[in-house]
Amino acid sequence: MRYIKSFTLHMAVLSSTVMTAFGAHARPKAVVYRGPASSPGCPESLGQLLESSPSNFKVVYAGPNEPVDVIEALKGATVYAHGGGPNWSKAYRSTKKYQKAIQSFVDNGGHYLGFCLGAYLAGPTNGYGLLPQGVKTDREVEQKGAQIDSEDDTVIEVDWKFADGHIDKKRWLYFQDGVVIQGLNDKSPGRVVGRYSANGDVAASITPYGKGWVGLVGPHPEADKTWCKYQLSHDDAEITNPEGIKFDIGHDFIEAIINGGYKASKNLERKGWLLVVRSLPKFLDAGVGKSGATHIMWATADAYKNRGNKFYYADECKPNGVPKYRVNGDAHADLYWELSQGKEQGPWMQTFVKGEGYKKFNMPYTPMN
């Protein structure tokens, strides 16, 4: 009997160890262009915005002078992002060699993020042709009623429609000769997420391209405090943002693009949950192992629930249900000890929050109740 009890305890500990390995979510990959068609500091600010977003991207900088160039870097990526830079036509000439690869990437389910110059480059003229028919990019400073009519670095007011539906009027964002997206209407695919407050021109949009999505924004929601200490184009003046430095618009924009222009489901299946219970072709190299491990835990927990053995799949989350990418070892240890002391099988999927323990989150796509 002593041998059997010892075996049972070791099975509980072993299964927890397996669950820890598969419970950690792999960070999605974002490729950020850095090279002649970018301005100093712009790729890094965009990269930091992606890394600090709820999706917690792992950023790879790619370009002709980087360890990896764009075409190679796109393999396995979720996002390709191009930030601010110099002359529009020159930028296109230096990046035209990537056009087919970028088109193929987005067409097959990837996501293109264009900030300022990167937005210009998505258009049909001097661009990659990633927009719906009849939609084009142009300079906002040349439009009627524009708040800003010069190329100087400054700030501009934008009405931003967040992915949850609410609109913030007259939000201040960093601006330097940013894009206007023209040709979108009620019948166009996709949606408008930002308008310049002064004249209602489209400042940000999310539109489909093949199986993927294209997000464009004219101002700079990625601008950090260093941008306000000096002008990127002219070093002779400081810029003050009346709102201070905020990244809520930038983070909302990124998450909306990843989710096809809308807020991620309240049930969080787009935040990493779906791979726990279902293998997706696009993520077979990462998802099949995770969903396979959870199926084993569910099946064994059900088969042995009356035999004294207990099996769990553990996953640390934030209080709102978003997966915790940088997991806490002490929180895991506390949960595993508690599970090992339990006399009966608890919920096989042990989603938990540090300091709170097990917490159930609704997952409607889970076939294993």
How is the chain split into domains, by residue range? Answer: 2-25+272-358, 29-267
Whether residue 199 contacts residue 97, with contact meaning beta carbons closer than 8 Å, is answered with: no
Residue of 86, 240, 91, 45 lying closest to 177 (CA atoms): 86
What are the φ/ψ torsions at residue 287 (nearest 5 degrees)? -85, -30
Residue of 130, 106, 132, 107 lying closest to 120 (CA atoms): 130
The CATH class that applies to domain 29-267 reads: alpha beta
pLDDT at 316: 80
Cα angle for residues 77, 74, 92 (degrees, 5° grid): 125
pLDDT at 242: 85
Residue of 174, 142, 143 lying closest to 158 (CA atoms): 174
Angstrom distance (rounded) from CA 77 to CA 99: 16
User: Three-state DSSP class for 32?
Assistant: strand
Angstrom distance (rounded) from CA 294 to CA 227: 46
Alpha-carbon distances, residue 7 vs 24, 127, 333 (angstroms): 26, 64, 20
pLDDT at 22: 41
**338-356 as b/e: b if 16+ CB within 10 A:** ebeeeeebeebbbbbbbee
pLDDT at 276: 61
Per-residue confidence of the chain (369 residues) as pLDDT tens digits? 333 333 333 334 434 333 333 444 578 999 999 999 999 999 999 999 999 998 899 999 999 999 999 999 999 999 999 999 989 999 999 999 999 999 999 999 999 999 999 999 999 999 999 999 999 999 999 999 999 999 999 999 999 999 888 899 999 999 999 999 999 988 889 899 999 999 999 999 999 999 999 999 999 999 988 886 544 444 455 677 888 889 999 999 999 998 876 554 433 333 345 556 555 555 555 545 566 667 777 777 777 777 767 787 787 877 766 666 667 778 888 888 788 777 778 887 778 888 888 777 655 444 444
Which burial class, exposed, middle or buried, applies to 40 when counting CB atoms under 10 A from its CB (0-12, 13-18, 19+)?
A: exposed
pLDDT at 5: 36
Angstrom distance (rounded) from CA 111 to CA 213: 5
pLDDT at 245: 87
Structure tokens of 324? 């915790």
> First and final CA of the chain: distance in angstroms?
32
Residue of 107, 113, 90 lying closest to 217 (CA atoms): 113
The 8-class DSSP code of residue 263 comes to P
pLDDT at 1: 33
